[in-house]
Amino acid sequence: MLKLLPSVLSADFANLGRDLACIQKAGVTMVHVDVMDGSFVPSISLGFPVIRSMRKVSDLFFDVHLMVDEPGRYLNEVKEAGADRIGVHVEACKHLHRTLQQIRALGCEVCVVLNPATPLTALDYVLEDVDVVLLMTVNPGFGGQAYIPTMTRKISDLRKRIDDRGLDVKIELDGGVKLSNVRELIEAGADELVAGSSVFNGEPEKAIAEFKAIFAEYEQK
């Protein structure tokens, strides 16, 4: 089943509880939470205290994306803050396999993340160890960027690698996802789509309904 994950990076930080309730009422079950350290990526975003506060007012599935150097240092804290899934970057982990195993041991879903220029060969020896591969379809660090067109081929190539191995691994996309290109991304092989500005920069309920209507076209086939 196709999933839409609104990104709280584009929500109103003064009214996160309101925005979380709004998207849940519209039928969303998962939310994407970006944690940035100002080192691995240029920006600094919300941290673990904010995630804890969000968890107090929401039972949505929290997909936490750690855009930080050496994310293994923070796994226990992000789990305790309320994460249901933890995503770590190939590029940020000195010992990727160990970090993925630590996430599994915490009882969270395991997600590995690749930047746009990172080749899929980086997954060769860990693909069996994850639940989700998150492909960045923009360069990470800022919301509202345009989708990188060459990522469509990368999505298709990853879909083939997963299917050829007979694995139950989902493909998640983050960056530049809009109503105008979501069909292309689904047809390339995406399972989960992160959308920030295209959901929150307007009427979230209306945008979510429009995404879900497109998803239904494919789920009925």
Positions marked active-site: 34, 174
Contact 123, 101 (CB under 8 A): no
CA–CA distance, 149 with 63 (Å, rounded to integer): 25
Q: How far apart are CA 101 and CA 179, in angstroms?
A: 36
Q: For Cα atoms 160, 3, 135, give the angle at the middle one, nearest 5 degrees.
A: 45
- The C-alpha atoms of residue 5 and residue 212 are separated, in whole angstroms, by 11
Residue 156's alpha-carbon distances to 129, 152, 153, 161, in angstroms, are 20, 6, 5, 9
Count of H-run helices and E-run strands, the chain = 8, 8
